[in-house]
Structure 1
Amino acid sequence: MSLPISPALPGNNQQPSDAAKRLLPWLVAVAFFMESLDTTILNTAVPAISAALHVGTLSMKAVLASYTLSLAVFIPISGWVADRFGTRRTFAFAIGLFTLGSLLCGLSSNIHLLVACRVLQGCGGSMMVPVGRLTLVRTFAKSDLLRTMSFVSIPALVAPMLGPVAGGLIVGYLHWRFIFFLNIPIGLVGLVMVYLHLPDYREETHALDVVGLIMFGSGVGLLSYVLEVFGEHTLSSREITAMLVMGLAMLGGYWMHAKTMQYPLLQLYLFRIRTFRAAVGGSFFTRLGIGGVPFLLPLLYQVGLGFTPVQSGFLLMPQALAAMSMKAMMPKLLEKVGYRWVLVSNTVVLGVLLMVFATIGLTTSVWWIVLLAFLYGGFSSLQYSAMNTLVYADTTDQESSAASTIASTMQQMSISFGVAVAGLATAFFVPENAQSAPGLMIHGLHKALLAMGVLTILSTVVFRSLKPEDGDTVSHRKAIHAGA
């Protein structure tokens, strides 16, 4: 059913006004910030919330996992919903659902209700990022997309670094419920801005692939859950193996199902495009290596070096500053040397930096830690922005929705899997009695960081499939070559 659109507002795929173009990146950036902040802000508040709800700290893992699981499961339908009902209505619905979920989370009186409300939050968050990215792709020319994407991706880098500090300060000076209430005024303002300024793009749609949604969602959910609980001994090895096999079977079944469908849930044919395949595949494998850094570094700082949660959070702040600084330099760098050179060399640098983090010990200067954090923040910012924009280098406007959906789904999966891989590496290298022996903890975390560094460097194999001219439509290099 087609919904009416006010003629006074940009809609029906009409070109948005100059004012809307100016405000759109800010609006999408705020939505990105809300979604990204919520993935980390709870980490330092877990003990306080578990005590308030009278449950064990380990039980709070469900509160953290339910949000990321719902993101991974519902992201695949975001593109279809946006094409069917319009980007403005879908984006407004996503912000509204996320804000409502935040309110209900803050009012929850038991852990079961809190988990259910976190799932509701995740449903809204699953549409905010991909639909916001899709709106940008359809609003701005490819030649302007790099600068725009670089700007709106800053909150996605800053929020995970501010999350632990913000959570610690809120719990220390206010109340844990304000962690969720913080989203309410931002969400309400966002709703008004969406109605006034967000362009409304639509495309002809087809029937939703419900079977594919069930198979893919179940597969990702089972696989994510197995990685979350692996090593905690809450399930037997037989149960974990059975769930792992079922999850992989579901994903394999979806792959076969998608080949028989004219309009599958995820348009897998896009992987035939070299730049898309390299961007999405390289992003996935790179994040397996660097995705666990927000987990490993606070553990190193707090358990190994004895810093408080707030101090540990502040040690991550230089990453955010460097990320913002790099955004101004990145377009010129890509314009000069191209995507292939940047992604191959930058991935190696990130892997080496992780190995350098493995040299931090009890006698290491705080200023050296700050310098490493600043360097890592700058290079990771360059990596994320390059991978995110290369996705759209050779896709058409009609394919942008499907490309955004796949990229966002794989990104969310890789974030969850990256933390899980880091956790598995830590469990493998850190002995059980390390909690009472900081030296053992530091030594084990050093090995985990070295392993993550090697894994990151190995992901350059994917980016080597790129050609020197790939991504020129986004980085302006074609214009330079044409005038040379």
Structure 2
Amino acid sequence: MTDTSTFKSYLPWLVATALFMEQLDATIVNTAIPSIAADLAVTPLSLKSIATSYILSLAVGIPVSGWMADRFGTRRVFGSAIAVFTLASVLCGLALNPQMLVAARLLQGLGGAMMMPVGRLAIIRTFPKNELLGAMNFVILPALIGPLLGPTVGGLLVHLTTWRTIFFVNVPVGLTALYLVVRYMPDYHGAEKRPLDVLGLILFSSGTAILSWLLEVFGEHTLDGVTAGLMLVLSIALLGAYVRHAQRDPFPLLRLALLKIRTFRISVLGGFITRLGVGGLPFLLPLLYQLGLKLPAWQSGLLMMPTAAAAMGMKLIAPRVLARFGYRQVLVVNTICIGLTIGLFSLVGPGTPWYAIAGIGLLQGFFNSLQFSSMNTLAYSDVETKDSSMASTIASSFQQLSMSFGLASGSLVTAWFLGRVPQTNQPMVTQALHHAFIALAVTTMLSSLVFWRLRRSDGESISKGKAATAVAQDPAPLSQA
């Protein structure tokens, strides 16, 4: 059996490889949206379903990931997820129409739903809290190469060949990840085999699916107010029913009682609102560059590189920033900075110099990286080891829901301001996108109010390497096979 030191050496590389594959795929798709739309004879905004279906599938599938990891083990679930994701990538490249592409993206999302929380769970269970920030940053740092290469590689592939080839780049990465799973993935199981909360899965999945679909169709189709209102009430009722069910069921799908932990609750809620604003950028920025500025796909990809490059640089200094200023001060100030940089994109137009756009991208990547490092590690600062699986599942579920809602909302705002104007009308498309960026900026800055509730000492067990006594004495009910 591989020892713990070997797991610590190779596990971050394994999880980073899986995240690299996911991020590469997401950014390549966003850059290719205009080309896919032209080839399939649909409007670019209508293809937001390619992105939202993937994120929605993640949100629906993630809640089951914790149960599957406890029941079948992290190694088997993580490996199966990578295999499904890789197969779905091939199917995306073979799609003949938008419906087939959306179906393949849904399958891809189910694979991704198992990868993210299970990989994060393995990291949390392998590294003590005083080493968690460094491990998380190491995982995310190589994964950021995906967004760095994705827009450029995707743009070049679309420019030189066809959009279909962009999905096949996941194949060698997926095979590499599968090899690493066999060699270096620890196999953690739950101490007890809890039953699957089928009713909770139906209530939660149905409620989130209806709400996300409602946001999507608002931006593309005509839906009368009565029908929309009824569907909104239905989705809220389903989610409300799940909350009541989770309070009574001894083995709920998502144990919402963990939200009573103050730092976990603030991290999840603040992160949810933050991602509502940030979630629309990966879809809207390529539209701004390619439809608003009339740039080819490969140049659009180059303009997105500074964001990923700055994010990689920030990961190197994030631990020192958090140790110096603390989670509360960093999150309050940094959230406002993110909103301001999103707002700056509303000033970008056909006459904007490329270096000014690159500068805004650098700022965006810098602040986004610090924000996500802070939120993703603060969430586990006061969570006991025995609850790490459920905490990871809850955090991942809310994260994907917020990204799905943010993407749909950004597209909705753009379509609302655009009205019935054709999407080939460059000035009106640019103006509509500018309004959308302002709306996303305001939404993001509002999340800073949530982080005001943090205390100065919150998160020190992670930021300053002070492992809490309760954590050190935790009996750790998950067993490593």
So what's the TM-score if we normalise by structure 1?
A: 0.90
What's the CA shift string for 1:292-332, capped at 9, x where partnerless? 22233333323333322221221111011100101111001
Note if 1:179 corresponds to 2:166: yes
Give the Å deviation of 1:473: 0.5
Give the Å deviation of 1:257: 0.7
Give the Å deviation of 1:448: 2.6
Match of 1:305 among 290, 293, 305: 293
Partner of 2:245 in structure 1? Answer: 257
Note if 1:363 corresponds to 2:363: no
Alpha carbons 1:157, 1:381 under 8 Å: kept: no
Paired residue secondary structure (2:349): coil
Aligned residue runs from structure 1 range 335-484, under 5 A? 335-430=323-418, 432-433=420-421, 435=423, 437-476=425-464, 478=466
> Which stretch has the larger CA shift, 444-453 or 89-98?
444-453
> Which stretch has the larger CA shift, 419-428 or 325-334?
419-428
Note if 1:214 corresponds to 2:202: yes
Partner of 1:191 in structure 2? Answer: 178
Partner of 2:7 in structure 1? Answer: 20
Alpha carbons 2:346, 2:434 under 8 Å: kept: yes
What's the CA shift string for 1:187-213, capped at 9, x where partnerless? 122112111111111112311101000
Distance 1:269 1:69, change over 3 A: same
Give the Å deviation of 1:263: 1.2
What's the CA shift string for 1:355-392, capped at 9, x where partnerless? 23323333322212111111111111000110011111
Alpha carbons 2:133, 2:319 under 8 Å: kept: yes
Distance 1:235 1:416, change over 3 A: same
Give the Å deviation of 1:111: 4.8
Distance 2:48 2:340 in 1: 31
Alpha carbons 2:19, 2:143 under 8 Å: kept: yes
Distance 1:63 1:256, change over 3 A: same
The one-letter amino acid paired with 2:67 is W
Distance 1:54 1:346, change over 3 A: closer
Alpha carbons 2:14, 2:177 under 8 Å: kept: yes
Partner of 2:80 in structure 1? Answer: 93
> Which stretch has the larger CA shift, 100-109 or 206-215?
100-109
Partner of 1:273 in structure 2? Answer: 261
Partner of 1:35 in structure 2? Answer: 22
Distance 1:30 1:431, change over 3 A: same
Distance 2:433 2:115 in 1: 35
For structure 1, the residue ranges without an aligned partner over 5 or more in a row are: 1-8, 11-15, 480-484
Partner of 1:3 in structure 2? Answer: none
The one-letter amino acid paired with 2:230 is A
What's the CA shift string for 1:414-472, capped at 9, x where partnerless? 11111122222223334543745544444443333222222211111110111000000
Partner of 1:143 in structure 2? Answer: 130
Paired residue secondary structure (1:206): coil
> Which stretch has the larger CA shift, 440-449 or 191-200?
440-449
Alpha carbons 2:130, 2:464 under 8 Å: kept: yes
Distance 1:351 1:116, change over 3 A: closer
Distance 1:101 1:353 in 2: 35
Partner of 1:125 in structure 2? Answer: 112
The one-letter amino acid paired with 1:140 is F
Partner of 2:65 in structure 1? Answer: 78
What's the CA shift string for 1:58-112, capped at 9, x where partnerless? 7755444332221111100101111111111111111111122223333445554
Distance 1:192 1:430 in 2: 48
Distance 2:142 2:264 in 1: 24
Distance 1:436 1:51, change over 3 A: closer
What's the CA shift string for 1:110-136, capped at 9, x where partnerless? 554443333222211101011000000
Distance 2:82 2:244 in 1: 34
Distance 2:221 2:380 in 1: 42
Give the Å deviation of 1:41: 2.1
Partner of 2:141 in structure 1? Answer: 154
> Which stretch has the larger CA shift, 102-111 or 297-306?
102-111
Paired residue secondary structure (2:212): helix
Distance 1:429 1:446 in 2: 10
Distance 2:351 2:94 in 1: 45
Paired residue secondary structure (1:191): helix
Aligned residues between the structures: 466
> Which stretch has the larger CA shift, 34-43 or 323-332?
34-43
Match of 2:308 among 320, 336, 339: 320
Distance 2:6 2:369 in 1: 28
The one-letter amino acid paired with 1:423 is S
Distance 1:156 1:215, change over 3 A: farther
The one-letter amino acid paired with 1:428 is W
Note if 1:230 corresponds to 2:245: no
Paired residue secondary structure (2:82): helix
Distance 1:357 1:50 in 2: 24
Partner of 2:478 in structure 1? Answer: none
Distance 1:458 1:107, change over 3 A: closer
- Tell me how large the CA RMSD over aligned residues is: 2.3
For structure 2, the residue ranges without an aligned partner over 5 or more in a row are: 468-481
Distance 1:305 1:394 in 2: 47
Give the Å deviation of 1:30: 0.9
So what's the TM-score if we normalise by structure 2?
A: 0.90
Distance 1:48 1:374 in 2: 26
Alpha carbons 1:48, 1:171 under 8 Å: kept: yes
Distance 1:97 1:383 in 2: 30
Distance 1:217 1:459 in 2: 25
Give the Å deviation of 1:44: 3.8
Q: Name which structure has the greater RCO, CA cutoff 8 Å, separation 6+.
A: 2
